Amino acid sequence: MIRIPYDFSGNLNLPSYSQMVQRIMQFNNVSNIGKDESGNYDMYMIEMGNFNKPTILVISSMHGTEWMGALYSMRFMEQLRDNMFRDKAFRAKLLRNFHIVYIPVVNPYGFDRTSHAEGNNIGRYNVNGVDLNRDFSNFSQAESRNVKAVMDRFRPFAFLDIHLFGSGMDGSNGLNLIVGNGQYETDKIRNLFADSLERYANQSVVKWDGFNQLLRGLARRYMRDKSNPHTPYTLSYITEIVRPRQLSGGLDAPLSDQEIMKYGMAMMYLFFETSMGYFEQRKVELNYDPVLIAENELYRTVRYKA
Ligand SMILES: [Zn+2]
């Protein structure tokens, strides 16, 4: 079990996309990865850590209605950047040994059209009415193509796709927190992630199985099926947190905004911690010292079979 040595907190206020871009631009390494399908928004990725090391990819707000995911992941990345975690070893290990790529808003069009507790899914889709998390096999939309280009370029060994859901969704079992992985071979790692979250949040966490149940078109399916140069399996997660919705009967908010921020940041921490653990474990298994070859191009091209 991983104990989270930090009490995450913060409020959630919906910014405009241009306000998000201002926060994005406060990072040192920001790249424009292309226009969205409307042609009116630029999409961005942030890079942190050691660019010569294996990549960990995080994306959020593919559904604009789930804007809170961009907010809590952004807060986590800002605190990582600004060395605000009490747990200094976590930050040092992550930034020294890994390359972090972060796309805060995959659907800026939807992000700019949602509301704080959007009840009607306005903002879920892009300008063409497409659900982008069904487009990661056809890649018919600019947003998914822009993300695919990042996935294909860096071939991350660990991937997190951040979502939120409305209460009562199929598969949520009436609970508030979900962690889903890509393949049964990585279930132990997912369980460590989910069980540690359960302890931190003091409530049950739903575990979604990936292997036979992932639709083509889901981002995590595309990523799961993609090999990487470092580990036998590409860790590919979705996380879900129940979100507030203004419904005809009133506000439906099983979790407060503060709880969403707290558990969301805990999910980020546990995703990074368990992904680093997976990588470190492989290194030990292979008796393989990355320090010796880290700066060597060979490092990025060696492929290990399961
Ligand atoms: Zn979603």
Separation of CA 124 and ligand 1 centre (Å): 7
- Centre of ligand 1 from the C-alpha of residue 110, in Å: 12
d(CA 150, CA 153): 5
Q: How far is the CA of 164 from the centre of ligand 1 (A)?
A: 6
pLDDT higher than 80, residue 283: no
Question: Above 70 in pLDDT, residue 128?
Answer: yes
Say which residue, 151 or 211, is predicted with more confidence: 151
- 211 Cα: distance to centroid of ligand 1 (angstroms): 19
Instruction: Tell me, in angstroms, the distance from the centre of ligand 1 to residue 165's CA.
Output: 6
Cα separation, 278 vs 145, whole angstroms: 28
Q: Domain residues of the chain, as ranges?
A: 17-301
CA distance 253 to 174: 13
- Centre of ligand 1 to C-alpha 117, Å, is 14
Residues whose CB falls within 8 Å of the CB of residue 117, separated by 6 or more in sequence, listed in order: 243, 244, 245, 246, 251, 253
Task: Supply 110's token pair.
Answer: 């939807």
The SS3 call for residue 235 is: strand
Tell me the CA–centroid distance for residue 227 and ligand 1, in Å: 24
154 CA → ligand 1 middle, Å: 24
How far is ligand 1, taken at its centre, from the CA of residue 125, in Å?
A: 10
Q: pLDDT band at residue 1, thresholds of 50, 70 and 90? A: confident
CA 238 to ligand 1 centroid distance, Å: 9
Hunting for tokens 């790692």 — which residue is that? 189
Q: Is the pLDDT of residue 280 over 90?
A: no
Q: What is the residue type of 17?
A: Y
d(Cα 97, Cα 290) in Å, to the nearest integer? Answer: 9
Measuring CA to CA, how many Å separate 44 from each of 21, 68, 150?
Answer: 8, 17, 11
| Cβ atoms < 10 Å from Cβ of 98 | 21
pLDDT at 120: 92
Instruction: Output the CA torsion sign for 22, 69, 224, 214.
Output: negative
For the chain, the average pLDDT equals: 92
- pLDDT tens track for 181-223: 999 999 999 999 999 999 999 999 999 998 888 999 999 999 9
Whose CA is closest to 272, among 125, 127, 80? 80
Mind listing the pLDDT tens digit for each residue in 245-261? 999 999 999 999 999 99
Q: Cβ distance 128 to 120 under 8 Å?
A: no
Looking at residue 4, its amino acid is I
Helix extents (H) in 225-256: none
pLDDT at residue 301 is higher than 50: no
CA of 301 to the centre of ligand 1 (A): 33
Distance 69 CA to ligand 1 centre (A): 9
Across the strands, what pairs with 30? 46
257-266 tens-digit pLDDT: 999 999 999 9
The CA 280 to ligand 1 mean position distance, Å, reads 31
Percent of the chain scored above 70 by pLDDT?
Answer: 92
pLDDT at 52 over 80: yes
- Ligand 1 centroid, distance to 63 Cα (angstroms): 5
DSSP alpha helix (H) spans, 98-247? 108-111, 142-154, 187-201, 219-224
For strand 205-208 and strand 177-180, is the pairing parallel, antiparallel, or unpaired?
Answer: parallel
* pLDDT more than 90, % of the chain: 85
Instruction: Tell how far the Cα of 39 is from the centroid of ligand 1, in angstroms.
Output: 22
- Residues with Cβ within 8 Å of 92's Cβ and at least 6 positions away in sequence, in order, are none
Q: How far is the CA of 6 from the centre of ligand 1 (A)?
A: 27
According to CATH, the superfamily of the domain at 17-301 is Zn peptidases (3.40.630.10)
Taking 50 as the threshold, does the pLDDT of residue 116 lie above it? yes
Q: Once rounded to an integer, what is the mean pLDDT over residues 47-69?
A: 97
Per-residue pLDDT for 151 more than 50?
A: yes
Report which of 51, 6, 58, 29 is spatially closest to residue 272, judged by C-alpha positions.
58
Is 297's pLDDT higher than 50?
no
C-alpha distance from residue 179 to each of 114, 191, 220, 270, 272 (Å): 24, 9, 12, 11, 14
pLDDT at 239 over 60: yes
CA–centroid distance, residue 62 to ligand 1 (Å): 7
Q: Is the pLDDT of residue 105 over 60?
A: yes
**Residue reference for tokens 């951040």:** 162
Q: Rounded to the nearest whole angstrom, what is the distance from the C-alpha of residue 156 to the centroid of ligand 1?
A: 21
CA of 73 to the centre of ligand 1 (A): 15
Q: Ligand 1 centre and the CA of 78: distance in Å?
A: 23
CA torsion, ordered 172, 175, 179, 180, to nearest 10 deg: -20
Comparing CA positions, the residue from 53, 61, 54 lying closest to residue 103 is 61
Question: Averaged over 95-101, what is the pLDDT?
Answer: 97
Q: How far is the CA of 240 from the centre of ligand 1 (A)?
A: 8
pLDDT for 6 equals: 81
